[in-house]
Chain A
């Protein structure tokens, strides 16, 4: 059978019919990495889709490209939906894309989860290995993009709180191909540079993909190996990256990181004021103590003076007077006791005691004792008191 000879056009037309007639190639969904991505002036989007070993050209016409929900960039993982079409004139084929989505997020998250488990097992996230921030921070190294929001935020936070803290920026790409390696290298360089007390590693907010460098091993390794304490400050408060777990400290935002490294100047000035007060009170205490010692000495000196002798004599006089008084009191008490004894003796001389021996006690009408005969003459009647009773008597007139 003789070979049928075709011209180029015929061949390409044949291929085109074959390809475009295929039900499979009419609607394909392909995942890969974006490359050579560019918008033409016409608004059409031209790009390639590639993986490790192959590449295919793609085009997205203006009408479809206008509906894109993100800005496609080379290096991104994407999923393309479209049909394979042949350009017969050039003998080339390409995907005419109708849909372009970010892809690989699932794969990225899975890898992050895997790495997280691995590093957790290695103890990279454990509290025990965290370095403390130094008490006094003089200079801060910053690894971030020189054009990003993070460096601005950090600078304004430090400037507001404590402009005496020095900042050294080690600029790095923070997203896209090679970002993780660059960040890691700058952390190492700051370690070698010296004079840095703390390193802030971070960036402003972005998509999960934008932030992903801070989930990658090179960055984590560099943070882990850093001799200088590292603060991770990536994105917004809600963004949590593996760098946050690996770093010695996580700051929710770059602004917060700036505040962490700059002791409030007001507080510093307060501290100096406290030191002034403390020094003053110490020296005043000193002086007070000395003046007390001086008073003591002065007293000792005056005790040796003649005036002090006089005083001493006076004091002795007073003491003697006291002794005297006590002595007198003792004597007085003795006398009083004697007196009591005497009065007892007097009681013993009670007339009642004699009446039994024939003595009588004579009282007049008025009850008063009649002590003489002449007195008795004047009484109309008298009472004679015997030991056992009384007798009323009338004197008999003697003629």
Chain B
């Protein structure tokens, strides 16, 4: 009886080494492996599903074009998140400058992500996503990384290049601002509480 061979998936480091040589199949494997995480991260940062998808594509393109400069440190996903964050930052800066020049151009309304669950819960998720997208980026990034992606304060600090205390402070302030923005839901919130998760 023959023993079936178990093919191990190549690691990110191995795939990136091949991408540096221009291997598009290796690059496609990396995209397949990390696309959902990058799209989800960008959707949390921007509050706009379509925009997140577009920015995610650009993130992977930049990964490919900068593959020769990539230095393997064992965590490709963090590198992808860093590229994605910089893309959001650049885009928001550009939009701020354009808004100064063109006050008569109506601002595009970004589509809110749909959420499963009951009507009230969906509405709350929608409000949460919208409130999150309006936070300053310096609070939004650590909040998403810690609360949604589950990163530790140490990892976040190393990734964004600041001290652990600073990360904690920004996460705290981000939460405070979200609480303020969702205040109407707290004060009228009996209905919300009854539809919340059973605890």
Answer whether A and B are interacting partners: no
| Chain A residues proximal to chain B, CB less than 8 Å | none
| Chain B residues proximal to chain A, CB less than 8 Å | none
